[in-house]
Chain A
Amino acid sequence: MAKRIDVKDLNIYYGDFLAVAEVGMAVEPRSVTAFIGPSGCGKSTFLRTLNRMHEVIPGARVEGTVAMDGVDLYGDGVDPVAVRRNVGMVFQRPNPFPTMSIAENVLAGVRLNNRKISKGDANDLVESALQGANLWKEVKDRLARPGSSLSGGQQQRLCIARAIAVKPQVLLMDEPCSALDPISTLAIEDLIAELKNDYTIVIVTHNMQQAARVSDRTAFFNIAGTGMPGRLIEVGPTGTMFSAPTQRATEDYISGRFG
């Protein structure tokens, strides 16, 4: 249930504006890849191209290839809806559906797609997804309560449960802890460590300690100045990136000299 992603010569545009230029990297299966870099350098934009979520924004387009096990996600006959079913996403701010209960939120991927599911299967799916998100013990007695009744950290784990309930190949996380307190952050980081046994995970983070703690590989993005495109500066095993980066900019950023 985990796939690798190879990105080659990727340029991302908003209209005529080149936002991210010439990205080429591989995302290894069953591992955590972290994207770090200063604000506005295109980490999130690049992350969103991995499941074609950036296309929600009018005018956004890409050049180059993003291949999952050799199949270009932007090739002919590829349906963005099917891509998103296989590449799940967790957002910066927890966004459970306010009209749905906790259980309904977990089942959202099934129910919103009008797919029929038997009550037994639904209950099993809710339990396994919530177990997978380390939330089952906390909410099993109040599954019918609204999702918004949970704390911020619990809501974010609910969103992770909702994402893994559709059984994606890859899970993208866009700064999943930036709106959470340290204890909730720790819970999510523990969860990421468990999830990488089953999923390919890509996480954008502003917190370099977090990248060092959770990721196997780290990619550093940077931007030369406003109006310039963001670029991938360096990608490698997290240990190497933090101890012996090959690029000067990476070293400066990691050691806190800018950004």
Chain B
Amino acid sequence: MTTLTPGAAPVAPDPSDQTRAMLAGSDRRRRVTDRVATGLVVTAFLIALVPLVSVSWTVVSNGFERLSPYFLSVSMRGVFGGMDAGGIYHAIVGTLLITTVAALISVPIGLLAAIYLVEYGRGRLARWVTFFVDVMTGIPSIVAGLFAYAFFAVLFGPGVRFGVVGSVALSVLMIPVVVRSCEEMLRLVPNELREAAYALGVPKWLVVIKVVLRTAVAGLGTGIMLAVARVIGETAPLLITVGVIDSINFNVFEGRMMSLPVYVYRQYSQGLVPCAPGAADCIATINYDRAWAAALTLIIIVMLLNLVGRLITRFFAPKTLR
């Protein structure tokens, strides 16, 4: 309010000048605070970007060279030393099969639990379910692996290792994520839609299936995709439950399987190859190269899954004005 010039004082104050002074609001403090806050937000964002960009760059630059159709289409069978050979076909097969079976186990259980919590659950049981889902969220993945191993060891004897054991371990990690995200999505469905359907004489189970699930399907798809992305990179539980193998195995009910994260771990842990001096066809860093290329493949698979999830979302999203 100090913008009135001294010269204007004797004359009768112009009302529009007064209004202008009133509206000018030259609040220095606020502007400074605004700048500082904006600066902090942008800085925080940039700092958050650093690891993301750094990881992406490292994986792409280290893994891109080895990634080839050959690398994607062969296993490690008969590959040894520093041979310029071997690939991740068996690990891709294992990862996709184990994760698919894990999703087949987790999605029905998780989705039904979420429906129970949102549409039916009242009182003590619902509170207990919520509590245990929260507890399950915090289970370390190695514990989930031990649980699945111990469970199957009781049934099949010690030393049991096959794909489904790994899928069960991943399900233990995946179910709480599915329950949580699906619950959020179902709660977002406006109550008015449920009431509209009830008022048309639609029984509750059909309201749940045809209105609630249908309206939320896009969000549910995204939630499930995120849950898959959460477990597809798990290493420790698969190391325990599914083991390690160099050849291709399509049977999730029998025999060990390789998966991409375990492959990465195994290749990296083998370290440098001691190549004989002058030996042809021996690459000292071959294990590291394969690990990076497999890591890159895993990231690409997760990205593709996200892309598919987004397409599903777009396809099923409630129709709006376009």
Q: Please, which residues of chain A bring their CB within 8 A of the CB of B202?
A: 81, 109, 112-113
B122 to chain A, nearest CB (A): 6
Q: Confirm or deny: A242 has a beta carbon within 8 angstroms of a beta carbon on chain B.
A: no
Q: Please, which residues of chain A bring their CB within 8 A of the CB of B195?
A: 53, 56, 89, 91, 95
CB neighbors of A among B177-195 (8 A)? 190, 192-195
Q: Confirm or deny: B51 has a beta carbon within 8 angstroms of a beta carbon on chain A.
A: no
Residues in A lying within 8 Å of B, measured CB to CB: 51, 53, 56, 58, 81-86, 88-89, 91, 93, 95-101, 108-109, 111-114, 145-146, 148-149, 159, 162-163, 166
Please determine whether A91 and B192 come into contact, CB atoms closer than 8 angstroms: yes
Which of the 9-residue segments B209-217, B250-258, B302-310 touches chain A? B209-217
Total A-B Cβ pairs within 8 A:
90
A129 to chain B, nearest CB (A): 12
Assembled-state Cα–Cα distance A196/B65 (Å): 77
Q: Confirm or deny: B197 has a beta carbon within 8 angstroms of a beta carbon on chain A.
A: yes
Assembled-state Cα–Cα distance A82/B203 (Å): 9
Assembled-state Cα–Cα distance A159/B193 (Å): 11
Please determine whether B320 and A163 come into contact, CB atoms closer than 8 angstroms: no
B251 to chain A, nearest CB (A): 39
Other A-B pairs beyond A51-B199, A113-B200, 8, CB < 8 Å: A81-B203, A95-B195, A97-B193, A97-B197, A97-B211, A111-B210, A112-B211, A163-B200
Q: Confirm or deny: B206 has a beta carbon within 8 angstroms of a beta carbon on chain A.
A: yes
Please determine whether B319 and A88 come into contact, CB atoms closer than 8 angstroms: no
Please determine whether A112 and B207 come into contact, CB atoms closer than 8 angstroms: yes
Please determine whether B320 and A98 come into contact, CB atoms closer than 8 angstroms: yes
- 1/0 contact trace for B191-235 toward A, CB 8 Å? 011111111111100110011001100000000000000000000
B198 to chain A, nearest CB (A): 6
A140 to chain B, nearest CB (A): 19
A170 to chain B, nearest CB (A): 12
Please determine whether A84 and B200 come into contact, CB atoms closer than 8 angstroms: yes
6 A-B residue pairings within 8 Å (CB atoms): A91-B192, A91-B195, A99-B318, A109-B200, A113-B203, A159-B196
Closest-by-CB residue of A relative to B122 is: A58
Assembled-state Cα–Cα distance A95/B206 (Å): 18
Assembled-state Cα–Cα distance A125/B203 (Å): 22
Assembled-state Cα–Cα distance A109/B200 (Å): 5
Q: Confirm or deny: B321 has a beta carbon within 8 angstroms of a beta carbon on chain A.
A: yes
Closest-by-CB residue of A relative to B215 is: A99
Assembled-state Cα–Cα distance A93/B207 (Å): 19
Assembled-state Cα–Cα distance A89/B197 (Å): 10
Closest-by-CB residue of A relative to B199 is: A89
Assembled-state Cα–Cα distance A93/B201 (Å): 19
Q: Please, which residues of chain B bring their CB within 8 A of the CB of A51?
A: 199
Q: Please, which residues of chain B bring their CB within 8 A of the CB of A96?
A: 196
Please determine whether B200 and A93 come into contact, CB atoms closer than 8 angstroms: no
Please determine whether B214 and A56 come into contact, CB atoms closer than 8 angstroms: no
Assembled-state Cα–Cα distance A97/B214 (Å): 10
Please determine whether A112 and B200 come into contact, CB atoms closer than 8 angstroms: yes
Please determine whether B200 and A85 come into contact, CB atoms closer than 8 angstroms: yes
Q: Please, which residues of chain B bring their CB within 8 A of the CB of A83?
A: 201
Assembled-state Cα–Cα distance A23/B320 (Å): 43
Closest-by-CB residue of B relative to A165 is: B200
Please determine whether B214 and A81 come into contact, CB atoms closer than 8 angstroms: no
Assembled-state Cα–Cα distance A96/B200 (Å): 12
Closest-by-CB residue of A relative to B123 is: A58
Assembled-state Cα–Cα distance A101/B197 (Å): 15
Q: Please, which residues of chain B bring their CB within 8 A of the CB of A146?
A: 318-321
Q: Please, which residues of chain A bring their CB within 8 A of the CB of B198?
A: 53, 56, 84
Please provide the 9 A-B residue pairs with the shortest distance between their CB atoms, ordered closest to farther: A85-B201, A146-B319, A98-B318, A89-B199, A95-B192, A109-B200, A84-B201, A112-B202, A95-B196
Assembled-state Cα–Cα distance A53/B194 (Å): 11
Please determine whether A148 and B194 come into contact, CB atoms closer than 8 angstroms: no
B197 to chain A, nearest CB (A): 6
Given that A84-B200, A113-B206 are contacting pairs, would A56 and B321 also be in contact in the complex, using a CB cutoff of 8 Å? Answer: no
Contact of B319 among A81, A101, A113 (CB under 8 A): A101
Q: Please, which residues of chain B bring their CB within 8 A of the CB of A109?
A: 200-202
Assembled-state Cα–Cα distance A88/B215 (Å): 22
Closest-by-CB residue of B relative to A55 is: B198
Given that A95-B192, A99-B214, A148-B321 are contacting pairs, would A53 and B199 also be in contact in the complex, using a CB cutoff of 8 Å? Answer: yes
A224 to chain B, nearest CB (A): 29
Q: Please, which residues of chain A bring their CB within 8 A of the CB of B190?
A: 95
